[in-house]
């Protein structure tokens, strides 16, 4: 890490710490408090009896841990969906399991008041009025590491059930509605192949910055040996479930982020350049390759500062030397700024791997990652990227 921004561990053992996914609000509006999960074990799947603590780190008080509670609904890749409510300086939301059902809690971090909603959340609309979520029981069965243990999938033996899929919940009233079913998505014709006989699931939901539409990935498991059909389609849809549109039909969408509310930047396979990052214009077939000679491998891409849309924050999976490479890409100057070469020990693989999942502060000057490079288990690290931005 010599020659680049210096890392600072903001958590420490004996417990292990991480945040999870890269498209959630981890920093509060003042950039002082950083949300975090805490667990006492690694290297195995969570069971229904395993709990984690949730808390926040005070960056202005010697990285002090502030405990906020516990949850029984979590996984290694995305935690419990802990995140700040958009527009709030004091309220966070996270998932839990209560009386055999997945729920979510809105917690006021200043006074400790908590309100429980009757369903879990994944993505929160920018006005904090609505949340959407996939079926976490189905995910636990079809994609370990992304669902929650504890509530069996009622439709486990149904390939594309009509009774579940993407749910929308009013965060004020708790009213929930099924807005896109697995059966509905499965009925949309395929462009490149046949998914007949496949088991369907949804994952990775994200609202556009204006809240009018959101993304979800439609994926299959099993089925006929038809590799040309791929395993993933990217849909965009209106916030109420209407206007369903296949934005990437070519079977291999991976990580993505909205660029403004009109485009999506995603790692995918496209006939024009193969596997690359692409910019997709929503509800059109307009596709443009992004940094094909610089951003050459898959990563968890987002933007440092949504006001300018200039700086792409990204990472890589471990390479042959088990090194992970976080970086910032300056789209204005087509320059990649490395942030480090971080060793991921070989035991961090599969469901309990530790992806860096880089996330930025509200002003884009600080970055956090989950990392194992110091040999102390997964811990949270802070990177000050101000020097890169100021020199640009």
Residue 204 corresponds to which tokens in the numbers above?
């990775």
Residue 78 inside a domain? The answer is yes
Question: Domain for residue 160, yes or no?
Answer: yes
In this prediction, residue 262 carries a pLDDT of 97
* Alpha-carbon span 20 to 81, nearest angstrom: 8
Count of structural domains within the chain: 2
On the question of pLDDT at 224 being above 80, the answer is no
In the numeric block, which tokens belong to residue 212?
Answer: 């009018």
Domain membership of residue 348 (yes or no) is no
80 and 46 housed in the same domain: yes
pLDDT of 132 reads 98
Does residue 322 sit within a domain?
no
b vs e for 137-172, b when ≥16 Cβ sit within 10 Å of the residue's Cβ?
bbbbbbbbbbbbbbbebebeebbbbeebbbbbbebe
Residues 107 and 179 in one domain: no
pLDDT band at residue 308 under the 50/70/90 scheme = confident
Would you state the pLDDT for residue 3? 54
Indicate whether 331 belongs to any domain: no
Query: How far apart are the C-alpha atoms of 38 and 170, rounded to whole Å?
Result: 29
Same domain, 117 and 131: no
pLDDT at residue 1, as a whole number: 46
Domain holding 40, by residue range, is 1-121+354-392
Confidence of residue 193 (pLDDT cuts 50, 70, 90): confident
7 and 146 part of one domain? no
Q: Is 380 left (phi over 0), alpha (psi -120 to 50) or beta?
A: beta
Q: Are residues 94 and 157 in the same domain?
A: no
pLDDT tens-place string over residues 90-99: 999 999 999 9
Do both 116 and 132 map to the same domain?
no
Tell me if 288 is assigned to some domain: yes
CB 336 within 8 A of CB 347: no
Same domain, 163 and 290: yes
Residues 293 and 358 in one domain: no
Same domain, 134 and 219: yes
Residue holding tokens 């990227």? 385
- Does one domain contain both 97 and 179? no
Write down the pLDDT at residue 306. 63
Q: Per the domain annotation, does 163 fall within a domain? A: yes
For the stretch 321-364, pLDDT in tens is 999 999 999 999 999 999 999 999 999 999 999 999 999 999 99
In the chain, pLDDT over 90 holds for what percent of residues? 92
Residues in the chain: 392
What percent of the chain stands above pLDDT 70? 99
Residues 193/251, Cβ–Cβ less than 8 Å: yes
pLDDT band at residue 184 under the 50/70/90 scheme: very high
**pLDDT, averaged across the chain:** 96
Of 161-170, 190-199, 346-355, the one with minimum mean pLDDT is 190-199
Q: Determine, yes or no, domain membership for 361.
A: yes
- To 10 degrees, the CA torsion angle through 58, 310, 77, 326? -80
- Same domain? For 5 and 78 the reply is yes
47 and 87 both lie in a single domain:
yes
**Res. 2: pLDDT tops 60:** no
């Amino acid at each position: 890490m010599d020659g680049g921004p210096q890392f600072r561990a903001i958590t420490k053992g004996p417990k292990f710490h991480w945040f999870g996914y890269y498209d959630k609000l981890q920093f509060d509006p003042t950039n002082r408090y950083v949300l975090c999960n805490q667990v006492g074990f690694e290297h195995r799947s969570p069971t229904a009896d395993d709990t984690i603590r949730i808390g926040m780190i005070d960056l202005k008080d010697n990285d002090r841990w502030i405990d906020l509670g516990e949850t029984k609904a979590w996984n290694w890749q995305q935690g419990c969906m802990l995140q700040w409510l958009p527009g709030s300086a004091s309220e966070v939301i996270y998932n839990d399991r209560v009386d055999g059902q997945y729920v979510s809690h809105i917690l006021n971090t200043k006074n400790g008041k908590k309100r429980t909603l009757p369903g879990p959340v994944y993505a929160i609309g920018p006005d904090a009025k609505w949340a959407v979520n996939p079926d976490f029981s189905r995910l636990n069965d079809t994609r370990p590491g992304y669902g929650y243990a504890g509530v069996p999938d009622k439709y486990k033996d149904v390939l594309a059930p009509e009774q579940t899929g993407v749910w929308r919940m009013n965060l004020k009233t708790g009213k929930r509605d099924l807005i896109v079913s697995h059966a509905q998505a499965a009925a949309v014709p395929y462009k490149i192949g046949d998914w007949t006989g496949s088991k369907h699931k949804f994952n990775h939901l994200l609202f556009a910055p204006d809240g009018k539409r959101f993304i979800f990935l439609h994926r299959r498991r099993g089925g006929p040996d038809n590799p040309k059909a791929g395993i993933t389609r990217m849909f965009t849809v209106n916030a109420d479930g209407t206007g369903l549109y296949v934005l990437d039909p070519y079977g291999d969408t991976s990580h993505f982020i909205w660029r403004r509310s009109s485009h999506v930047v995603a790692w995918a396979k496209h006939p024009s350049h193969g596997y690359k990052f692409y910019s997709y214009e929503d509800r059109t077939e307009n596709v443009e390759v992004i940094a094909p000679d610089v951003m050459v491998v898959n990563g968890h891409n987002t933007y440092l500062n949504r006001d300018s849309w200039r700086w792409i924050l990204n990472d890589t999976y471990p390479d042959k030397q088990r090194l992970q490479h976080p970086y910032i890409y300056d789209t204005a100057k087509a320059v990649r700024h490395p942030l480090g070469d971080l060793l991921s020990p070989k035991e961090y693989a599969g469901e309990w791997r530790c992806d860096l999942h880089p996330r930025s502060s509200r002003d884009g000057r600080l970055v956090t990652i989950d990392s194992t490079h110091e040999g102390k288990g997964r811990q949270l690290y802070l990177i000050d990227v101000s020097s890169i931005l100021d020199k640009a």
